[in-house]
């Protein structure tokens, strides 16, 4: 009897229509734009995020330097951000930044880290940091910035 009950619960939890958590299972693949909790930014346009990713916008309001942190090459959230927002792959993005540094237009390439825990540590400690991470991995210490007025859980959010 206990085995049958356990199997029934497991089957129910694995059903596609069964909500896994408050936002539904859809948000598991959503990538959030996160900043330090002291950053007053609430919303960014796609154009603004592109400018940040390409190193064309280097300061937040109040003259705080933007520190871009990304996951390492091959990470799902990095690939998703580069392809959806810049229409670039890793090679094109890295080439863009190498050329920018070579021309003296940037002091260095964006920081690349290997884990979401490192993303959290970096963004928590640096007021100007901005990063992209799966919503399900976001620490409550980080602030999610809306993209085009939408949060990751909302219909029409671009980074799905």
Say if residue 30 is exposed, middle or buried (CB neighbours under 10 Å; 0-12, 13-18, 19+).
Answer: buried
User: What's the maximum distance between 2 C-alpha atoms anywhere in the chain?
Assistant: 71
Which 3 state secondary structure label does DSSP give 68?
strand
Number of domains in the chain: 1
Which CATH number does the domain housing residue 120 bear?
A: 3.40.190.10
> Is residue 10 assigned to a domain?
no
123 phi and psi, to 5 degrees?
A: -70, -35
Residue 13 falls inside a structural domain: no
Question: By three-state DSSP, how is residue 111 classified?
Answer: strand
pLDDT digits 0-9 by tens, 21-64:
333 334 457 999 999 999 999 999 999 999 999 999 999 999 99
CA atoms within 13 A on the CB side of 132: 28
| pLDDT tens per residue across span 63-106 | 999 999 999 999 999 999 999 999 999 999 999 999 999 999 99
Determine which helix (DSSP H) or strand (DSSP E) holds 32, and give its type and residue range.
strand 31-36
Confidence at residue 35, expressed as pLDDT on a 0 to 100 scale: 98
Question: Quick check: 39 and 71 in contact, CB under 8 A?
Answer: no
Between CA 120 and CA 72 the distance in angstroms is: 14
123 vs 28: which has the higher pLDDT: 123
| Distance separating alpha carbons of residues 59 and 56, to the nearest angstrom | 9
pLDDT at 26: 41
Q: Is residue 11 part of a domain?
A: no
* Residue 136 pLDDT > 60: yes
Range of the domain at 64: 25-147
Whether residue 93 is contained in a domain is answered as yes
Integer-rounded Cα radius of gyration of the chain: 18
Measuring CA to CA, how many Å separate 98 from each of 41, 106, 150?
28, 9, 32
Domain assignment of residue 108, yes or no: yes
pTM: 0.81
| Whole-number average pLDDT of the chain | 85
| Structure-block tokens of residue 16 | 């596609």
Report if residue 109 sits inside a domain.
Answer: yes
> Is residue 52 in a domain?
yes
Asked if residue 44 belongs to a domain, the reply is yes
């Amino acid at each position: 009897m206990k085995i049958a009950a356990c199997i029934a619960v497991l089957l129910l939890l694995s059903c596609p229509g069964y909500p896994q958590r408050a936002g539904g299972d859809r948000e598991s693949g959503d990538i959030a734009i996160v900043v330090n909790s002291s950053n007053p930014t609430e919303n960014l346009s796609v154009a603004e995020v592109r400018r940040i990713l390409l190193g064309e916008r280097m300061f937040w309001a109040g003259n705080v330097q933007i520190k871009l942190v990304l996951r390492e090459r091959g990470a799902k959230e990095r690939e998703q951000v580069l392809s959806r927002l810049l229409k670039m792959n890793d090679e094109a993005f890295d080439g863009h930044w190498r050329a920018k540094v070579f021309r003296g237009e940037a002091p260095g390439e964006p920081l690349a880290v290997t884990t979401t825990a490192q993303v959290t540590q970096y963004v928590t400690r640096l007021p100007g940091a901005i990063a992209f991470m799966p919503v399900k991995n976001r620490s409550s210490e980080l602030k999610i910035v809306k993209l085009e007025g939408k949060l990751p859980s909302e219909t029409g959010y671009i980074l799905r």
